[in-house]
């Protein structure tokens, strides 16, 4: 399994479905950021990621254009936030729709 920077992974918790943005990939670690809480970062490994139940939601990056940041640092996005990806059927500024396996849908 190959993980790229910018992909979005998700995991079903007891209360809701949580999505994470892949910020950095190194040989030994993968840095994930919670999409709903940008201050929430953690590192994991490829083995732990796959064994913990994380699934890939999207290969298209998510760029939050509504966020109001207090910091003065600006990270230039690699793509225009309003670019429509015809394969994902959403723009980069639109939150991806989670793809839930049948296991999760039967509990709803």
pLDDT digits (tens, 9 = 90+) for 19-77: 898 988 898 899 999 988 888 899 999 889 888 888 888 887 776 666 666 655 656 66
pLDDT digits (tens, 9 = 90+) for 78-89: 666 666 676 677
What is the model's pTM?
0.63
H or E stretch at 47: helix 46-51
Distance in angstroms (rounded) separating the CA atoms of residues 34 and 9: 10
Domain positions in the chain are: 8-105
């Amino acid at each position: 399994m190959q993980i790229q920077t910018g992909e979005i992974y998700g995991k079903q918790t007891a209360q809701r479905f949580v999505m994470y943005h892949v910020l950095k990939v190194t040989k030994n670690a993968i840095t994930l950021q919670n999409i709903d809480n940008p201050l929430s970062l953690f590192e994991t490994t490829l083995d732990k990621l796959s064994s913990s139940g994380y699934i890939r939601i999207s290969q298209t990056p998510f760029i939050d254009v509504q966020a109001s940041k207090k910091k003065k640092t600006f990270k230039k996005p690699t793509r225009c936030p309003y670019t429509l990806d015809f394969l994902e059927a959403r723009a980069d500024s639109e939150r991806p729709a989670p793809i839930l396996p049948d296991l999760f849908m039967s509990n709803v």
